[in-house]
Amino acid sequence: AQSVSQHNHHVILSEAASLELGCNYSYGGTVNLFWYVQYPGQHLQLLLKYFSGDPLVKGIKGFEAEFIKSKFSFNLRKPSVQWSDTAEYFCAVNAGYGNKLVFGAGTILRVKS
Amino acid sequence: EAQVTQNPRYLITVTGKKLTVTCSQNMNHEYMSWYRQDPGLGLRQIYYSMNVEVTDKGDVPEGYKVSRKEKRNFPLILESPSPNQTSLYFCASSGRVGNQPQHFGDGTRLSIL
């Protein structure tokens, strides 16, 4: 069965620090990869997605992610975080039938101002 | 405006009292899905639907039912709710193809006493 692992459940950073959130998945075939963000009290919003092509994808709000096929990874990065980036971040993978998404457990990011 | 609308947003009820959470989307999407979100577990899929009258179990279907009589609506039914179904529920929709991101509703927080 597919699974998605997010390495850290809680991350605390100061403003302007760099961010990298790890995501690994277990599926050997073609995958579609997503990062979603959930701000406190809100629904999930798409940050970025990878389907094919350039493995470095850029999303909204200065986020980017790199797909490394050999490592089954899709890590999320941001060079300089802001207080407003405080949220929970979910990595998700679609592989196989239909449009089923398998989510990681989430990483709660808190940015101190 | 493209939307996935869930109702109610909050509900406190008692064990055994049947309830329905409605979900409606205005994007003519074929695919709709229900997830529950629990701390440390991320989002887990309950049921999904590839189109009208086509539904299937996700990863945690026990205790839930769904129906898809119309394309825009995908209600979640708890016939006999129990306390372990206390959770935050999200409905999502997307086009049929697997590389299309899902649009999420605002969530329904259910408390079963």
The pLDDT tens digits of the residues spanning B5-28 come to: 999 999 999 999 999 999 999 999
Percent of chain B topping pLDDT 70:
97
Confidence of residue A41 (pLDDT cuts 50, 70, 90): confident
**A18 pLDDT higher than 80:** yes
Confidence of residue B64 (pLDDT cuts 50, 70, 90): very high
Cα distance between residue B84 and residue A78, in whole Å:
37
Cα distance between residue A83 and residue B42, in whole Å:
23
List A residues 24-43 in contact with B (Cβ-Cβ < 8 A).
32, 34, 36, 42-43
The pLDDT tens digits of the residues spanning A56-96 come to: 999 999 999 999 999 999 999 999 999 999 999 999 998 76
Average pLDDT, rounded, for chain B = 93
**A12 pLDDT higher than 90:** yes
| A91 to chain B, closest Cα gap in Å | 9
Confidence of residue A52 (pLDDT cuts 50, 70, 90): confident
Among all chains, which residue has been given the structure tokens 């074929």? B30
- pLDDT for residue A96: 62
Question: Looking at beta carbons, which residues of chain B come within 8 Å of A99?
Answer: 31, 33, 48, 94-98, 100, 102
Which of A51, A56, A46 is CA-nearest to residue A94?
Answer: A51
Which of A31, A32, A11 is CA-nearest to residue A22?
Answer: A11
Amino acid at A64: E
Minimal Cβ distance to B43: which of A32, A90, A95: A90
CA dihedral defined by B91, B95, B101, B107, rounded to 10 degrees? -10
Minimal-distance CA residue of chain B relative to A44: B104
Question: Looking at beta carbons, which residues of chain B come within 8 Å of A96?
Answer: 98
- pLDDT for residue B95: 83
